């Protein structure tokens, strides 16, 4: 592996010693010297993000390149607009939000982006017009422990693009990189042994800006990493009391690398480890359903729906048919049956039993419905 100079001063000196023609020509052409040093700066900024232990690492892509899943906000399996009423609400895949304040109705939605090269969508977090609550609003992502530990021994750099609405009270955004010693915890519920590795407030305007945040030292002996964005509103919300964020990246190294996008298929597969729905992506959930099973008793339907990827852990299951979580359609008769107190059991690969307390099923008949499986942190 190639050895790199330990800092920029040594790097500049190395180039000057090895290329004396640069120095000589600069005496006659000052612009050439400026351009050469600009190139040196850019190369240093790029390569420093790939350096660990003063050694150039063979990790230009993958986890070292961007540990954040769905940082470009392409994947929204649960829907594209949410009223934030719960303490912890997952919206865009892998992204959790918090709003738990009286008189503070908020909406999280997918919006199209103009002005950020390489992005089609962003996440908008808006305090609804007329609301007077002023509690903090959070957008977060927590990494699995199995991935967090692979980043130990490195400084970490968070980069993102953000802006706010015209006249928004959400013009000051605080970004945080945090760590913990627990296993597969969610930062919103609190990391065991929580440590704030880096935090900084940034001033937003109506124009898109790129921001970066770097830890002061390499992380060690941690089992959990999470990032958190926080805003605190003030006064009464107007029509544009929102902020937007996109191209979120967490890379190893002390400099932000250019954002590395993934294909839609790659990003979707990563997200489906944590949440999966059989509803056709982007389609309404009011159809009969794309999953099916057979009644093995008058109160049990079994289905062997295969998940596209193995989920992180045994998920919490839900069902929906014709827009209702308490219905299934009998395929033979094309009629809907009502489910009393449905209990759904299954595993990480998709073998599922739906058990109800009433007896709506005809043994041997097929039933269709859709399945949701949630294995988030």
| DSSP characters over 235-265 | SS--TT-EEEEEEEEEEESSSPPPP----HH
Task: Quick: pLDDT tens for 59-74.
Answer: 445 788 999 999 999 9
DSSP category for residue 223: S
Of the listed ranges 11-15, 233-237, 293-297, 366-370, the one predicted with least confidence: 11-15
DSSP category for residue 286: T
- Residue 168, classed as helix, strand or coil, is coil
What mean pLDDT is predicted for residues 337-346?
94
Q: Note the pLDDT of residue 52.
A: 45
Q: Which residue has the higher pLDDT, 296 or 59?
A: 296
| pTM of the model as a whole | 0.83
Whether residue 102 contacts residue 197, with contact meaning beta carbons closer than 8 Å, is answered with no
CA nearest neighbour of 244 among 143, 187, 171: 171
Whether residue 148 contacts residue 250, with contact meaning beta carbons closer than 8 Å, is answered with no
| DSSP characters over 58-106 | S-SSGGGT---SSTT----TT-SEEE--SSSEE-STT-EEE---TT--E
The token pair at 335 is: 């009629």
Task: Quick: pLDDT tens for 96-126.
Answer: 998 877 789 999 999 999 999 999 999 999 9
Q: Is the pLDDT of residue 17 over 70?
A: no
Q: Is the dihedral of CA 140, 120, 238, 106 positive or negative?
A: negative
Q: Note the pLDDT of residue 108.
A: 97
CATH topology for 64-271 is Jelly Rolls (2.60.120)
pLDDT band for 34, please (50, 70, 90 cuts). low
Q: Note the pLDDT of residue 349.
A: 84
Q: Note the pLDDT of residue 177.
A: 98
Q: Note the pLDDT of residue 321.
A: 84
Domain boundaries, the chain: 8-48, 64-271, 275-374
């Amino acid at each position: 592996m190639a050895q790199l100079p330990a800092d920029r001063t040594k790097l500049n000196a190395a180039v000057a010693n090895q290329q004396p023609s640069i120095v000589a020509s600069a005496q006659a052409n000052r612009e050439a010297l400026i351009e050469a040093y600009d190139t040196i700066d850019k190369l240093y900024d790029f390569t420093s993000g790939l350096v660990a232990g003063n050694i150039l690492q063979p990790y230009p892509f993958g986890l070292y390149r961007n540990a954040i899943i769905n940082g470009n906000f392409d994947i929204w399996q649960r829907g594209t607009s949410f009223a934030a009423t719960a303490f912890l609400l997952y919206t865009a895949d892998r992204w959790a939000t918090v709003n738990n304040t009286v008189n503070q109705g908020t909406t999280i939605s997918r919006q199209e982006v103009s002005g950020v090269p390489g992005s089609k969508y962003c996440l908008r977090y808006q305090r609804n017009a007329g609301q007077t609550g002023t509690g903090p609003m959070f957008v977060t992502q927590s990494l699995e422990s199995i991935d967090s530990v692979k980043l130990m021994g490195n400084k970490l750099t968070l980069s993102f693009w953000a802006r706010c609405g015209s006249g928004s009270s959400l013009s000051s955004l605080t970004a945080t990189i945090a760590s913990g010693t627990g296993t597969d915890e969610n930062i919103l519920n609190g990391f065991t042994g929580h440590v704030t590795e880096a935090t900084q407030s940034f001033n937003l305007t109506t124009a898109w800006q790129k921001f970066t945040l770097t830890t002061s030292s390499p992380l060690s002996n941690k089992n959990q990493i999470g990032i958190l964005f926080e805003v605190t509103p003030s006064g009464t919300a107007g029509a544009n009391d929102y902020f937007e964020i996109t191209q979120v990246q967490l890379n190893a190294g002390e400099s932000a690398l250019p954002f590395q996008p993934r294909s839609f298929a790659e990003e979707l597969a990563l997200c489906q480890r944590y949440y999966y729905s059989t509803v056709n992506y982007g389609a309404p959930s009011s159809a009969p359903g794309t999953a099916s099973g057979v009644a093995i008793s008058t109160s049990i339907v079994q289905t062997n729906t295969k998940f596209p990827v193995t989920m992180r852990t045994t998920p919490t299951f839900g069902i929906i048919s014709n827009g209702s979580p308490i219905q299934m359609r009998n395929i033979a008769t094309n009629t809907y049956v009502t489910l009393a107190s449905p209990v759904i059991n299954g595993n990480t690969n998709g073998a599922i039993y739906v058990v109800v307390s009433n007896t709506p099923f005809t043994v041997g008949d097929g039933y269709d419905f859709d399945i949701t499986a949630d294995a988030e942190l």
